[in-house]
Amino acid sequence: MATADIAVDQAAYFDWLCRLGDNCLVLGHRVSEWCGHSPVLEEDIALANTALDLIGQTQLWLGLAGEVEGKGRTADKLAYLRDAAQFRNVLLVERPNGDFGQTLMRQFLFDAWHMELLRALQKSSDPRVAEIAAKAAKEVAYHLERLADLVIRLGDGTEESRARMQKALNVLWPYTGELFMADAVDQAVVAAGIAPAPESLKAAWDRTVAEVMAEATLSLPEGTFQHRGGKAGRHTEALGFILADMQFLQRAYPGGTW
Amino acid sequence: MTGAALPDLETVRHWLSQVPDPEIPVISLTDLGIIREVEWQDDTLVVTVTPTYSGCPATSVINLDIEAALRAKGIQKLRLERQLSPPWTTDWITTEGREKLRAYGIAPPVDGTAADGRLAGRVARLAGTSNLVIACPRCGSAKTEKVSQFGSTPCKASYRCTDCLEPFDYFKCI
């Protein structure tokens, strides 16, 4: 396989692939919680389809993670049989859905980053990463377009919708910094040419967010404090509740299939 | 198929062109452009399939349908391979497939209009200056409007015709 030519610490590589997969898995699950509860039918369908895209991407990333680890763990095993401390998603994606506006704001802030990441990963030194990124980038481009439109319409909307979108931005802002923080795992994959440095994605993300918030008549928060921990497995209690729901069946009926 | 000649690839392709897409049964898997390669490796038939959307629930059904169709034709040694790259694009839907979609009431994709993640085109679209015309598959009118970017399956968006007032699906471009 291609990785034989790429000098990288395999444990770090596995960890990094879990970050990609877990971001999609946890956000996909969060978004799917809206199914049957959205304000209008079209948005219900849109959110369910967005969640579906994310779960599809999860299968690709966690499938590759299992392959790199080489211990026979499939995407399903990684999703259903790890506990919270083994999850590597950023804290942003496990934030509770809040109201509809907060869900959309979280998705926009994530998509704007996800798009830049996937664009850069298409040049990865590992062709398996590059081809998953090329596939996912098409879906995420579609999400980003929809989310930018909605954030602008609701921000530059009624007094009520604008207030809710500003509140959502303020609440979520301290969870965006983790996307751009690098640690030893990032440094290992960056050195191997597998991934871009997290901080290198910041300028483009800043531009997209500033442009859309300006059109949405929303103000960027000024606070500089940023939470961190998710990428290293230190999660908020919110993740435990997600896993209790998502993993219930495999824990109650181990190995169950249908 | 011991002792008998292996069917030629044209025949196999023809068989695959008879397998309907599970969610939009008016078009076949070959119309959809997801059969990337068909080849014999010794006496094993290898069919390479690319997924449409990474989370499309039809993907596993499609693999089952391919297998069932080829087994029914007497193929004994068969292997299905997944190919992600280059990623599937709606540009690969055949001309014939597009006509079948339109006749079925689904507006076919307009090539070259996929989102690319850069937001430059968004302002023009919001301002209504986009020249993208999605013709109504029922009456042919160009006066249509988007209802939602997502529709009844992951591959479709919802539109409405402002002339004949019918709602319809548009095959979204990726």
B69 and B24 in a common domain:
yes
Of the candidate CATH numbers 3.40.720.10, 3.10.450.50, 1.20.1260.10, 3.90.850.10, the domain formed by A9-252 belongs to 1.20.1260.10
Q: Please give, rounded to a whole number of angstroms, the shortest distance from the CA of A220 to a CA of chain B.
A: 19
- Which contacts of A38-44 are long-range, i.e. CB under 8 A and separated by 24 or more positions? A38/A100, A39/A100, A42/B147, A42/B148, A42/B150, A42/B158, A43/A100, A43/B148
Does the structure show a pLDDT above 70 at A172?
A: yes
Tokens found for residue A77: 């095993």
B78 and B14 in a common domain:
yes
Which is higher by pLDDT, A124 or B152? A124
Tokens found for residue A116: 């830049």
Torsions phi, psi for B57 (to 5 deg) = -65, -15
Q: What integer pLDDT is reported at residue B124 of this predicted model?
A: 46
pLDDT tens sequence across A106-138:
999 999 999 999 999 999 999 999 999 999 999
Does the structure show a pLDDT above 70 at B120?
A: no
Q: Which among A174, A169, A168, A179 is positioned nearest to A110, based on CA atoms?
A: A179
Helix (H) or strand (E) holding B96: helix B95-104
**Nearest-by-Cβ selection for B119 from A49, A55, A211:** A211
pLDDT tens sequence across A135-171:
999 999 999 999 999 999 999 999 999 999 999 999 9
In a 3-state reduction of DSSP, which class is residue A257? coil
Q: What integer pLDDT is reported at residue A187 of this predicted model?
A: 98
The rounded distance, in Å, linking the Cα atoms of A97 and A211 is 24
Mean residue pLDDT across chain B: 88
Q: What is the mean pLDDT of residues A19-38?
A: 97
The rounded distance, in Å, linking the Cα atoms of B126 and B122 is 6
B65 and B20 in a common domain:
yes
Residue range of the domain that includes B114: 104-171
The rounded distance, in Å, linking the Cα atoms of B150 and A155 is 21
The rounded distance, in Å, linking the Cα atoms of B11 and B74 is 12
Distances (CA, A) of A180 to A5, A34, A107, A122: 28, 28, 17, 19
At residue A5 the predicted structure's pLDDT band, cuts being 50, 70 and 90, is low
Q: Please give, rounded to a whole number of angstroms, the shortest distance from the CA of B126 to a CA of chain A.
A: 8
**Nearest-by-Cβ selection for A136 from B54, B57, B151:** B54
Q: Please tell me which residue of chain A has the smallest CA distance to B116.
A: A141
Q: What integer pLDDT is reported at residue A125 of this predicted model?
A: 97
Alpha helices in A126-232 (DSSP H): 127-155, 159-172, 184-191, 202-215
**DSSP letters of A86-133?**
G----HHHHS---SHHHHHHHHHHHHHHHHHHHHHHTT-SSHHHHHHH
Q: What is the mean pLDDT of residues B45-66?
A: 92
CA B69 to chain centre: 19
A44-A45-A47-A48 Cα dihedral, nearest 10 degrees: 110
pLDDT tens sequence across A191-231:
999 999 999 999 999 999 999 999 999 999 998 899 999 99
**Residue B40 contacts by C-beta under 8 Å, 6 or more apart in sequence?**
B6, B9, B46
Q: Which residues in chain A have Cβ-Cβ distances shorter than 8 Å to B51? A: 56, 135
Q: Which residues pair with B153 in a beta bridge?
A: none
Burial class (CB in 10 A: 0-12, 13-18, 19+), A15: buried
Q: Which residues in chain A have Cβ-Cβ distances shorter than 8 Å to B54? A: 53, 56-57, 59-60, 135-136, 139
Q: Which residues of B touch A (CB under 8 A)?
A: 51, 53-57, 84-89, 114-117, 119, 122-123, 126, 147-152, 154, 158, 172, 174
Inter-chain touch B150–A130, beta carbons under 8 Å: no
Inter-chain touch A42–B150, beta carbons under 8 Å: yes
Q: Please give, rounded to a whole number of angstroms, the shortest distance from the CA of B41 to a CA of chain A.
A: 21
The rounded distance, in Å, linking the Cα atoms of B20 and A32 is 29
Give me the total of CB pairs closer than 8 Å, taking one residue from chain A and one from chain B: 96
pLDDT tens sequence across B134-149:
999 999 999 999 888 8
Q: Which residue has the tokens 């059109």?
A: A215
- The CATH number of residue B66's host domain is 3.30.300.130
Inter-chain touch A144–B54, beta carbons under 8 Å: no
Q: How many domains does chain B have?
A: 2
B128 and B75 in a common domain:
no
Q: Please give, rounded to a whole number of angstroms, the shortest distance from the CA of A243 to a CA of chain B.
A: 20
Q: Label residue B105 left, alpha or beta by phi (over 0 means left) and psi (-120 to 50 means alpha).
A: left
Residue pair A218/A162 in contact (Cβ under 8 Å)? The answer is: yes
Tokens found for residue A237: 């209690």
Residue pair B82/B116 in contact (Cβ under 8 Å)? The answer is: no
Pairing mode of beta strands B106-107, B44-49: unpaired
b/e for B80-99, b at 16 or more Cβ within 10 A?
eeeebeebbbbebbeeebbe
Inter-chain touch A148–B151, beta carbons under 8 Å: no
B111 and B72 in a common domain:
no
**Nearest-by-Cβ selection for A46 from B55, B89, B150:** B150
Q: Please give, rounded to a whole number of angstroms, the shortest distance from the CA of A111 to a CA of chain B.
A: 9
Q: Which residues in chain B have Cβ-Cβ distances shorter than 8 Å to A55? A: 55
> B88 lies in a domain?
no
Sheet holding B106-107, edge to edge: B106-107, B167-171, B156-161, B144-148
Q: Please tell me which residue of chain A has the smallest CA distance to B118.
A: A141
Specify the amino acid at residue B123.
V
Q: Which residues in chain A have Cβ-Cβ distances shorter than 8 Å to B172? A: 142
Q: Could you state, in order of their start, the residue ranges of all structural domains in chain A?
A: 9-252
Inter-chain touch A119–B148, beta carbons under 8 Å: no
Q: What integer pLDDT is reported at residue B123 of this predicted model?
A: 45
